Structure 1
Amino acid sequence: MPAATTIQMEASPADHWSPRNRRRCGCHGVNWCRVVSTAIVLLFVGLAVGGLFYLIAVSTRDPVYSVSIDAVSGLDLDHPTDLAGRAPTLDPVFNLTVRLSSRNQVTNYPNCIWPGTTVEVTYRGVQLAIGSAEQLCVGARETKEQHVVAWGAGVRLPGSALDALAGEARRGAEAFDVAVKIPTVIHSGYHSYDPRHVHLGTLVSCMSRRVGDDPVAALRTPCHASSTDIAASYPNKGRTQPRGAS
């Protein structure tokens, strides 16, 4: 009988990548192309979400407000004994610098000091002067300043405050509190007080500002800012403001 003939069939390339052969190679049926593709998609999604949160973070930081008192007149501070010995009617005039700085890297809308903003100067709770600020807006990473004059008319300080001011004037240590009141703004086109279309006002409190302090240092000292509902006001440069306490 003829010898048995052994026929060897060469496996096709497709046979090498059959599920059975993949299991033999230790792949256990895992589709590595799909795994890599999924990982790449997840990486891009993570980067996109992280970038979105970063943009939100760098575009929603609150601005920084600061104030310096450059000069004052009408308080007779050159003659403190006159202040202590009588109850004068004062007509103070404060020359102020108001600074607004944006901390945002990017911004969809500017930070602004809006029309109707008032700047008030007080001493121990008694209003001495009030003035109006002009509209001032800053973009991303921008800083701007404006000069504001606050006026007072016929102001009378109570005895305790008058004595304290006289004593501080003798030491050259008189200090005043300044408040910048930025009004609530309703977006143009809306006529109702709908919270979705309202930007609450900002109360900026700058405590213990001394006259003639280094303006660079003073303007680098931020004031405290808080959101609250504030009505716009347009004082007549203090000439019609109420008198201080008697």
Structure 2
Amino acid sequence: MPDATTIQMEASPADQWSPRHRRRRCGCCHGVNWGRVVCTAVVLLVVGLAVGGLAYLITVSTRYPVYSASIDAVSDLELDHATDLVGRAPTLDPVFNLSIRLSSQNRASNYPDCILPGTTVEVTYRGVQLAVGSVEQLCVGARETKEQHVVACGAGVRLPGFALDALAADARRGAEAFDVAVKIPNIVHRGYHGHGHVHLGTLVSCRGRRVGDDPVAALRTPCHASSADIAASSYPNKGTKQPGGAS
């Protein structure tokens, strides 16, 4: 009777390729916990979606607002008699009727975009200030747009010769255009122990605004906004804001 060793050596080739034997030979598949692999993949997918969603919310909630302005009318600038201005250096008392628009670009936000108290608007021509006015606080929520009508006034303004000649020439051609600047002051947050955190203000520059241009088109033309160190103005509001206020 053959011993055990002889029986093992004489095993048939079919026994060598049994399912259990194949699992031993295929070491790459041996011991893989597929349940753990699937669980890990699901966790990574959920984490990826959460991170992507958070990044999206931050993006749509931190877009800068869009500012725009139009000059609806001007008076006491003697534009109808511009040819008489040359050579006599008159003093001017212009009054500009303006529209200031603020539009939020955020799709979701817990904090409104605002034009803060102490904001002023200035109208200049060739770098010479013609008029200034105060802008009242105006806030918009996510995807919201509001407008405010403001009056900027100047008193006893004297234009230097180069600006006076240019204004006269532009008026003859019906091409007078002015620059409008909205100056939104700095924000100061008071923290614990009296420490404050200062955020720079915003300078909104709207160049080449013509009197009487289509206000719809003008207000759809964004102004350039940049950070600037702007102190809150004490310019008095003497009732120059037109009736109606923010809309």
Both structures adopt the same fold (TM-score exceeding 0.5): yes
1:199 paired residue number: 199
* Aligned-residue identity in percent: 79
For 2:185 and 2:22, the matched residues in 1 are separated by: 75
2:44 to 32, 42, 45: 42
Within-5 A mapping of 1:47-196: 47-187=49-189, 194=196
What stretches of structure 2 of length at least 5 have no aligned partner? Answer: 1-19, 239-247
With over 3 angstroms needed to count, the CA separation of the structure-2 counterparts of 1:130 and 1:36, relative to structure 1, is same
Corresponding residue number in structure 2 for 1:218? 218
RMSD: 2.1
**1:40-61 deviation digits (Å, cap 9, x = unpaired):** 0000000000001101111111
Contact residue 185 and residue 199 of structure 1 kept, 8 A: yes
Amino acid at match of 1:232: A
1:208 aligns with 2:176: no
How many angstroms apart in 1 are the aligned matches of 2:193 and 2:204?
27
Question: TM-score under structure 1 normalisation?
Answer: 0.83
Q: Which amino acid aligns with 1:92?
A: P
In structure 2, what is the equivalent of residue 3 of structure 1? none
Where does residue 29 of structure 1 map in the other structure? 31
Cα displacement (A) at 1:190: 6.8
- Distance verdict in 2 for CA 1:90–1:46, change over 3 Å: same
Distance 1:37 1:160, change over 3 A: same
Q: CA deviation at 1:193?
A: 6.6
Contact kept, 8 Å, 1:23 with 1:29, in 2: the verdict is no
Determine the C-alpha separation between the residues in 1 that align with 2:235 and 2:60: 36
Moved more, 105-114 or 22-31: 22-31
Distance 2:136 2:193 in 1: 24
Secondary structure at the counterpart of residue 85 of structure 2: helix
* Structure 2 counterpart of 1:228, one-letter code: A
Q: Which amino acid aligns with 1:36?
A: V
CA distance in 1, matches of 2:24, 2:70: 77
Structure 1 unpaired stretches of 5+: 1-17, 239-246
